[in-house]
Structure 1
């Protein structure tokens, strides 16, 4: 039964991570009696490190690859701000989170649609870094 709950939680997290998210909502929490997956714990740490992703200009916004698809590559991207974020710590934590998600995929036998998740880029919207919408072009520099 614990395996079923963990698999359900991992599937929910993978589905959320594969979507282009513009809000800093954390991945779905696993059932209370199941131990938290390492990738979910690290994703929570990433969200806390990213914080509100405050910005004044698009140049302050970046994207971060998160998660891991079963076929390889990131599960999705999150927007973050260069203003108050320790980039080295952020990238290290994201790498650890992706490795944990990949290992969980292997252990669970997770399958993927193998589609490539492209980096949408980020922009500043109302003082907060968000992902660009599909088809939205980055401003010319």
Structure 2
């Protein structure tokens, strides 16, 4: 039973981060998020030049909710950027419809780098 609680906590945190919108996600937001995950499934890289970060979701008062690392080695950056823009618009629509507010804090772009052959976000300091 002890091992169940960390797993539940991780699952809950992942759901919150992956929806990248305030409040419960609506169907278009979830569908677009699944498309983003699919388009960004291959994070393999040879060096830092292939790793990039992209803002996802939308805060109620503007700006991205979070960032994702992505690799240009095997991914179509234009397709990913288009999906992210559609997802952010859907998030903004949801926030507006629900009357959501946010702290208006700025989420800084951490950038991304190639570590052990995989693109990852750089750690914030």
Which TM bucket (shorter chain)? 0.7 to 0.9
Residues 1:93 and 2:83 are matched in the alignment: yes
How many positions carry a matched residue from both structures? 110
Distance (whole Å) between structure 1 residues aligned to residue 97 and residue 111 of structure 2? 31
Residues 1:57 and 2:57 are matched in the alignment: no
For 1:17-36, list aligned pairs within 5 A. Answer: 26-27=18-19, 36=26
User: 1:131 maps to what in 2?
Assistant: 121
C-alpha RMSD of the superposition = 2.3
Q: Which has the higher helix share?
A: 2
Residues 1:46 and 2:29 are matched in the alignment: no
* CA shift digits 1:50-108 (9 cap, x unpaired): 11310111111001111000011111110000001111111111100000000001111
Runs of 5+ consecutive residues of structure 1 not aligned to the other structure: 1-11, 17-25, 29-33, 136-141
| Greater relative CO (CA pairs within 8 A, separation 6+) | 2
Runs of 5+ consecutive residues of structure 2 not aligned to the other structure: 1-12
For 1:74-89, list aligned pairs within 5 A. Answer: 74-89=64-79
For 1:111-130, list aligned pairs within 5 A. Answer: 111-130=101-120
Q: TM-score, normalised by structure 2?
A: 0.79
Residues 1:107 and 2:97 are matched in the alignment: yes
Q: How far off is 1:35 after superposition? A: 8.9
